[in-house]
Structure 1
Amino acid sequence: MPSKAISFSGLLAGVALALAITPASAKDIVLGASVQLTGSSANTGRYYKDAYEFAVEKINEAGGVKVGGEQVKLALKIYDNQSDVNLSVRQYTQLVSQDKVDFLLGPFASNFALADSAISEKYQIPMIQGGGASDQIFSRNFKYIFGTLAPASNYFGSTVEMLKGLDPAPQSVALLYADDAFDVSVADGTRKLLDDAGLKTVMDEKYSSNASDFNSLLSQIKSNGAEAVLVAGHETEILNFVRQAKSLAVAPKMYSFTVGVPSEDFRKALGADADYAYGMTAWLPSADNKDKWFGDAAQFADAYKKKFGYDPDYHAASGAADVEAFAQAIEDAGGTDPAKVRDAIAKLSFDSLYGKIAFAENGQIDLPQTVIQVQDGKVVDVYGANGVINKPKYPMPAWNAR
């Protein structure tokens, strides 16, 4: 195996420079990834780069990974896929076939993870990723892909349960979703959830990813009288949706989004207009989530913000947990043999800052989603596995009555 020392001069097919690098020696265990550091998804991609670096740094500060009685350090090699899924696939191929990294961390977004996991399966190199939740990723009987996000098909599960208990409960629901792998999986699962809950779906519409004009869909919501609006999409789409909803004075009793609400940037971008919006998260920075490297999730969140200047959300927490899962599995396997580490990952059961890390047979973790709402500019957890946590602000008032 060639030396794993990393050079800044290596370009991938003349297109992408290796960024976000932890220098490696020949003895280090190298984790490789392709992440959206520029382009349309860079705002979320940074969570993964930062979380990977932070977790590697913390594990190395504690001595590294114990392998055969020796402490071995972790190292990173991360490429910028420029938010281009085809480039991402080429970069993962580069990581395993030329860079000879030991293991793979994932990109952000389900369509990327869906494509990139084919590389880990082809080369039988384990990939642990916390950026893709689409059920499609885990329905192919692949053995080398593992995910720390809950199934997309159940993202709105807790939200639908909450809807039934609201007073007055909404009688009609609009379901909107982008046409990518994650959002299609969300919609497929949500239809059944709504039907089982006895809620009437008056609108079920797919829109193009990266859409910027929602006026037509909002006009339909206004005309059909949907009282609850559930939107599965990307953060930039949701920002446009909210701004245009205000412009057209479309104010149902509530709206909920798969992304955005947990993000500090989302709330800053909308200001007071973010209030009343619902979202969901599988992670909150609770001291109840104990972690042997960071102490607990609250300590992780404080240290993360101090280091990077912004609050982590569940993307960052899942990314850090992915690195921790590799560290634990390598120790359990007693080395870096890919097949043995793969089997060790499948058997993991340990507490982390993200929650319990224990993968189901299909390779995915199913942590319950907590419903959150922006109230007076702050994120408040309102509904969880055990019911109401804090009272939601409901129904949402008209825009001119706020």
Structure 2
Amino acid sequence: MPSGSVVAKDIVLGASVQLTGPVANTGRYYRDAYQLAIEKINAAGGVKVGNESHTLALKLYDNQSDVNLSVRQYTQLVSQDKVDFLLGPFASNFALADSAVSEKYRIPMVQGGGASDQIFSRNFKYIFGTLAPASNYFGSTIEMLKGLDPAPKSVALLYADDAFDVSVAEGTRPKLKQAGLTLAMDERYSTNATDFNSLLSQIRSKSIDAVLVAGHETEILNFVRQAKSLAVAPKMYSFTVGVPSEDFRKALGNDADYAFGMTAWLPSADLKDRWFGDAAQFAAAYRAKFGYDPDYHAASGVADVEALVQAVETAGSIDPEKVRDALSKVKIDSLYGEIAFNESGQIDLPQIVIQVQGNKLVAVYGANGKIAQPKYPMPSWNAR
């Protein structure tokens, strides 16, 4: 090394993620996405701040799927570990609590794990989110419902009692009404519920046509298994999570067939990216490194890192306030889509309706209408 040269210090990103506990299966997407993004950016020369190149480093804790522990860990990241910027946890109730730490200490947090409208309704200045609003998660699904033949006459809305799922339900009700669909069941259930038998019995007794479920992956696995055991088969069911995940489809096998879901992201070569080339190349690199396919959680996690890097480079500084101001103006193409935050700090990407058709995941409905023919109505379990 030439005499007198200075090694630029690392820019340290801190996060607390669910690596153990009930939602670890989704939490790992964020750990893996953060690591892969940081490796890729460092390999390409790191982050340019003025005339200096900095490498990125990650300080990561396991919150064990415990919100209180997560808040303590974010406080430690900022006050003791002195990280430069924050990346988020998975799940809206975590992001809701943890973002209060970033706001208190005035350190930007970019998170792609919490979509609840509540997170962004508090006039916080230091929280930015790369998931579209939870209130519109079923928006494209409801548009699709209107064009199905035979049209569903009655709809059940089931949702867990956490911040994300409550926001989904609050946004879904007026959309169903606007679409002229009858909400025949509107039921809230406990987060991490394992018994859906009474709700399924109501679905059968009320002859519900379409069932919309906002919940977590483990809840939805239980819901589908119990629907089969009770032989409850409405014309369709759609879930906020699970369907895009390879693990979900493996866990259910043939029983996942016909399930509708949603995603704001598919690994298309059309989504160009500064570091990975495009989303298809990212998906291949992710699979090669971690042995499983990324879904929108992983793509969103990478977008968090990229947005922060872009803001640091635009600001020409690692001063938290200057980077916050740069984040509010970020507008970049990424493997996840265009990243541009609104005044509340959230982005808006339309949800693509997807369906398990045999052993394939098929995009069936998007922002511009029908993409492919959905398999509808769903047959009874014994007719499959």
TM-score band, normalised by shorter chain:
over 0.9
**Aligned residue number for residue 92 of structure 2:** 110
Structure 2 counterparts to residues 67-82 of structure 1, below 5 A: 67-82=49-64
Tell me the amino acid that sits aligned with residue 133 of structure 1. A
Candidates 172, 176, 179, aligned match of 1:197: 179
- How many pairs were matched up? 378
Whether 1:35 aligns to 2:17 is: yes
**Aligned residue number for residue 298 of structure 2:** 316
Whether 1:381 aligns to 2:376 is: no
The 2-side partners of 1:70 and 1:118 are apart by 32
Q: Relative to 1, partners in 2 of residues 1:26 and 1:32: Cα closer, same or farther, differing over 3 Å?
A: farther
Tell me the amino acid that sits aligned with residue 399 of structure 1. W
- TM-score normalised by length of structure 1: 0.94
Tell me the amino acid that sits aligned with residue 271 of structure 2. N
**Aligned residue number for residue 126 of structure 2:** 144
Tell me the amino acid that sits aligned with residue 343 of structure 1. D
The 2-side partners of 1:71 and 1:391 are apart by 50
**Aligned residue number for residue 342 of structure 1:** 324
**Aligned residue number for residue 155 of structure 1:** 137
**Aligned residue number for residue 32 of structure 2:** 50
Whether 1:260 aligns to 2:242 is: yes
**Aligned residue number for residue 302 of structure 1:** 284
- My pick for the range that moved more, 391-400 or 26-35, is 26-35
**Aligned residue number for residue 107 of structure 2:** 125
SS of residue paired to 2:186: strand
Q: Deviations over 1:153-174 (max 9, x none)?
A: 0000000000000011101000
Give the gaps of 5 or more residues in structure 2.
1-6
SS of residue paired to 2:355: strand
Shift of 1:267: 0.2
**Aligned residue number for residue 247 of structure 1:** 229
Verify the 8 A CA contact 2:30 2:297 in the aligned structure 1: yes
Tell me the amino acid that sits aligned with residue 91 of structure 2. A
**Aligned residue number for residue 311 of structure 2:** 329
**Aligned residue number for residue 3 of structure 2:** none
Q: Alignment RMSD, CA only? A: 0.7
Give the gaps of 5 or more residues in structure 1.
1-24
Tell me the amino acid that sits aligned with residue 338 of structure 1. P
The 2-side partners of 1:135 and 1:68 are apart by 36
Whether 1:218 aligns to 2:200 is: yes
Q: Deviations over 1:18-65 (max 9, x none)?
A: xxxxxxx98100000000000111000000000000000000000000
Whether 1:290 aligns to 2:272 is: yes
SS of residue paired to 1:400: helix
Ranges of 4+ aligned residues in structure 1 off by more than 6 Å: none
Whether 1:59 aligns to 2:41 is: yes
**Aligned residue number for residue 273 of structure 1:** 255
Q: Deviations over 1:57-105 (max 9, x none)?
A: 0000000000111111000000000000000000000000000000000
Q: Deviations over 1:287-319 (max 9, x none)?
A: 010001000000000010000000000000000
The 1-side partners of 2:111 and 2:155 are apart by 32
Tell me the amino acid that sits aligned with residue 127 of structure 1. M
Verify the 8 A CA contact 2:330 2:339 in the aligned structure 1: yes
The 2-side partners of 1:30 and 1:130 are apart by 18
Shift of 1:212: 0.2
Candidates 229, 232, 240, aligned match of 2:211: 229
**Aligned residue number for residue 12 of structure 1:** none
Verify the 8 A CA contact 2:8 2:52 in the aligned structure 1: no
Whether 1:173 aligns to 2:155 is: yes
Tell me the amino acid that sits aligned with residue 194 of structure 1. L
Candidates 371, 379, 384, aligned match of 1:397: 379
SS of residue paired to 2:156: strand
Tell me the amino acid that sits aligned with residue 302 of structure 1. A
Tell me the amino acid that sits aligned with residue 68 of structure 1. G
SS of residue paired to 2:164: helix
SS of residue paired to 1:268: helix
**Aligned residue number for residue 370 of structure 1:** 352
Candidates 183, 187, 194, aligned match of 2:165: 183
**Aligned residue number for residue 207 of structure 1:** 189
Whether 1:95 aligns to 2:77 is: yes
Tell me the amino acid that sits aligned with residue 79 of structure 1. Y
Shift of 1:377: 1.9
The 2-side partners of 1:174 and 1:42 are apart by 29
The 2-side partners of 1:215 and 1:323 are apart by 42
* Percent identity (aligned): 83
**Aligned residue number for residue 5 of structure 1:** none
Q: Relative to 1, partners in 2 of residues 1:266 and 1:304: Cα closer, same or farther, differing over 3 Å?
A: same
- TM-score normalised by length of structure 2: 0.98
The 1-side partners of 2:50 and 2:194 are apart by 54
The 1-side partners of 2:89 and 2:365 are apart by 29
Tell me the amino acid that sits aligned with residue 49 of structure 1. R
Tell me the amino acid that sits aligned with residue 344 of structure 2. N
Tell me the amino acid that sits aligned with residue 55 of structure 1. A
